[in-house]
Chain A
């Protein structure tokens, strides 16, 4: 450990899954699938990873198999993107309801139509209410580290919920970055073997997936909601331990030059790196800007968020998904809602950018900051705004 190598981020994620010593991988190997499962299938075929690799007939089957595997007590993994996730959707709800600690990498790609395989967050935002813990990686190293963290959190007896690790399609998944990998032995210092609380066992029979009649469905929902809310403590502890073991420290919300900043951009995922470059350039010009980004999206880090915005007067939220006919992007709406009952709160302006693989450039961030600054001065702006739309 300690040596960085140049590696494609997708391949690095599969190396993280190998380091986690998973027992079963289920995946449907066609577009929009990535190199993650392709490389895992090679690792299994070459005997470098002792696991079952099941190339199922659809993503619906992939998640169904993951549930069966996890119910049997196996450490279980899958990866998908956009349309694949959509086909999985029905079973995405079932996994947390059965309290299955499955880990899934979601390489974020846009939902068709029009037909698209490129990058935005419309896939994950369509699944945000399913009771999966959701984290977002900014770069390759983070994608690797969050994968190990995901198993640690998911399998914790106080959590037992599936975890979705999000990383941007193409801008992260298909690029080569310097990443520090780990062997199974190195990962083992942090990630212990999975000990199921309950599993399918002929000696102790159990029915999983029973009917939730109206008299008990609400109570079940209460259990799931309580579990995901309580998982935050485990998520934070697991990041703390990760920092102690490997030296890389992670927080639910990351900030960059927010101290004393007049305007703070809010992002998620890999565009945050471009945003930091934009902030450096704007700071050189004397514009007082900073950046805040969510690493943890579900459960929503409410207290951390409120603490982070305490001294901020203007927040410009950049969403990479659109929620048609509503009042802005999903992140913007949640951020604004989180601040509603705060006595002192920043002005919040919503922007939607980078849809369907459109690059979010330094210029765009400068445009967003200048618009937010103008609206803040006036005291109001549009409900939300799409950035970079060609008018003619």
Chain B
């Protein structure tokens, strides 16, 4: 059956038998950060690039970025605040999403 690759969300006739997943990596297609109510703001002035935010993030929303800093991905960050809580320098602030 031809499947639309735009998203993991399909019309019912396009679902595989028993909702099986036949293409690996489909969870990456599914953006799960849209119900976030707050997001992290990192102060690069004070960040020591230790990577604890990257390690602790339960959704693997952080990844190594430019100049040794770590960037969070809004498609997956759910705003749990664990990064802010674990940051040894306290340079991550959780900020409410704009309405």
Contact = CB atoms under 8 A, between A and B. Distances in A.
- Interface of B (DSSP majority class): loop
B44 to A, nearest CB: 34
Find the residue from B8, B15, B17, B18 having the highest chain A CB count within 10 A.
B18
Interface string A130-167: 00000000000000000000000000000010000000
B15 A223 contact: yes
Contacts of A204: 22
Contacts of A226: 12
Interface residues of A, number: 23
B48 interface: no
B20 interface: yes
Contacts of A212: 19
B16 interface: yes
Contact of B15 (A198, A206, A213, A216): A216
A223 B11 CA distance: 10
A206 B12 contact: no
A206 B23 CA distance: 7
B96 interface: no
Contacts of B22: 204, 206-207
B30 A213 contact: yes
Nearest to A96: B18
A207 B10 contact: no
A208 interface: yes
A37 to B, nearest CB: 26
A99 interface: yes
Contacts of B8: 216
Contact of B12 (A100, A160, A223): A223
B20 A198 contact: yes
B12 A220 contact: yes
- Interface of A (DSSP majority class): loop
Given A216-B8, A219-B11, A206 B20 contact: yes
A97 interface: yes
Nearest to B9: A215
A71 to B, nearest CB: 9
B24 interface: yes
Contact of B24 (A205, A208, A216): A205
Find the residue from A197, A213, A219 having the highest chain B CB count within 10 A.
A219
Interface of A: 97-100, 160, 197-198, 204-208, 210, 212-213, 215-216, 218-220, 222-223, 226
Which 10 pairs show the lowest CB-CB distances between chains A and B? Answer: A99-B18, A219-B12, A207-B21, A222-B12, A98-B18, A215-B9, A220-B19, A99-B17, A206-B20, A210-B21
Given A198-B16, A198-B20, 16 more contacts: A99-B18, A198-B17, A198-B18, A204-B22, A208-B18, A208-B20, A210-B21, A213-B30, A215-B9, A216-B8, A216-B9, A216-B10, A216-B15, A219-B10, A219-B15, A226-B12
